[in-house]
Amino acid sequence: MNRQVADAPGARTRRDHAAHHPGHPTPPRLHAPVEHAALRVLVVEEEERAARTLVQNLARRGYRAESVATGTQALQVHHQVDLILLDLDLTDLDGLEVCRGIRAVSDTPIIAVTERGSELDRVLGLQAGADDYMVKPYGFHELLARIGAVMRRVRPSRTSRVIEHGPLRIDPVARKVTLHDRPVDLTRKEFDLLRILALQPGAVVSRRQLMSQVWDDAWSHKGRTIDTHVSSLRGKLGSSDWIVTVRGVGFRLGNP
């Protein structure tokens, strides 16, 4: 994958040729603007050298980039970033399943990366939840352009998206909740918990997913932490039917 962040094949030869032959015009240099320099980017790549190179190049452009080497790690930390570069050719988990797992609980944009470039592979990647799809090897400037294009598409909707579920209204930007137009005073964890359930109305969200999304911990068991917050939410919303317990699985948003 280190070819991904290098110049296109032959580019160095052309520059060297131009330098030694002044009569030949020098190819124009590309300067891709960084439109979202504060973005936190997660690189999911198991080849250490390739991951390090990509992270370094993104950091030079002002991004806050970090990497993980496995799909399992990606599922644990994806909620901490703004954009994910997901290599689908992982060995510990199927890359498409990792993509589906992230999309099931999060709207974080994903750019899928793979060596498989057939039309069917692209369709499968996009159907799994990827926002864009890149085939190796690719140019770094193309990657920057695609990051910018993806963020232009998702940022307006993500920042202004108000979730409405019957009389319940959740504003993720202002972090305010109203019920029947009356404000509901929630703690930070209660708000995050309610928002995650409301993003998937009718769907069951597992306890592990909630621990990962709200408490940054998908694996440890913190006693009745979730149950306590769910109970508090039910009390503040005025009905236990707002959050339905699915025994042995997790919780879903109800319709009182």
- pLDDT per residue as tens digits for the range 146-164: 998 888 877 655 545 788 9
Query: Band of the pLDDT at 219, cuts 50, 70, 90?
Result: low
Range name among 27-31, 97-101, 175-179, 251-255 with the lowest pLDDT average: 27-31
Bridge-based pairing state of the strands 250-253 and 205-206 = antiparallel
d(CA 83, CA 44): 11
Q: Are 106 and 61 in contact (CB under 8 A)?
A: no
Q: Are 4 and 90 in contact (CB under 8 A)?
A: no
Please check the confidence at residue 14 and state whether its pLDDT lies above 60.
Answer: no
> What would the pLDDT profile of 43-76 be if each residue is shown by its tens digit?
999 999 999 999 999 998 888 899 999 999 999 9
d(CA 26, CA 6): 19
d(CA 185, CA 238): 12
What share of the chain in percent tops pLDDT 90? 49
d(CA 56, CA 242): 46
State the DSSP code for 240. G
Q: Are 90 and 70 in contact (CB under 8 A)?
A: yes
Around 1, how many Cα atoms within 13 Å sit in the side-chain half-sphere?
A: 24
Task: Work out the average pLDDT over 83-90.
Answer: 95
Please check the confidence at residue 8 and state whether its pLDDT lies above 60.
Answer: no
Query: Band of the pLDDT at 98, cuts 50, 70, 90?
Result: very high
Please check the confidence at residue 31 and state whether its pLDDT lies above 50.
Answer: no
Please check the confidence at residue 34 and state whether its pLDDT lies above 70.
Answer: no
Report the interhelical angle of 188-199 vs 207-215 (nearest 10°). 130
Please check the confidence at residue 91 and state whether its pLDDT lies above 80.
Answer: yes
d(CA 220, CA 203): 23
Q: What is the pLDDT of residue 225?
A: 86
Range name among 3-17, 107-121, 179-193 with the lowest pLDDT average: 3-17
Q: What is the pLDDT of residue 101?
A: 92
Tokens, residue 87: 């290599």
Query: Band of the pLDDT at 221, cuts 50, 70, 90?
Result: low
Higher pLDDT, 256 or 193: 193
Q: Are 114 and 95 in contact (CB under 8 A)?
A: yes
> What would the pLDDT profile of 166-206 be if each residue is shown by its tens digit?
999 999 878 899 999 999 999 989 998 999 899 877 788 88
Please choose, from the candidates 96, 85, 65, the residue with its C-alpha nearest in 3D space to the C-alpha of residue 136.
85
State the DSSP code for 93. S
DSSP alpha helices (H): ranges in the chain? 11-20, 48-60, 71-77, 95-105, 119-127, 140-160, 188-199, 207-215, 225-237
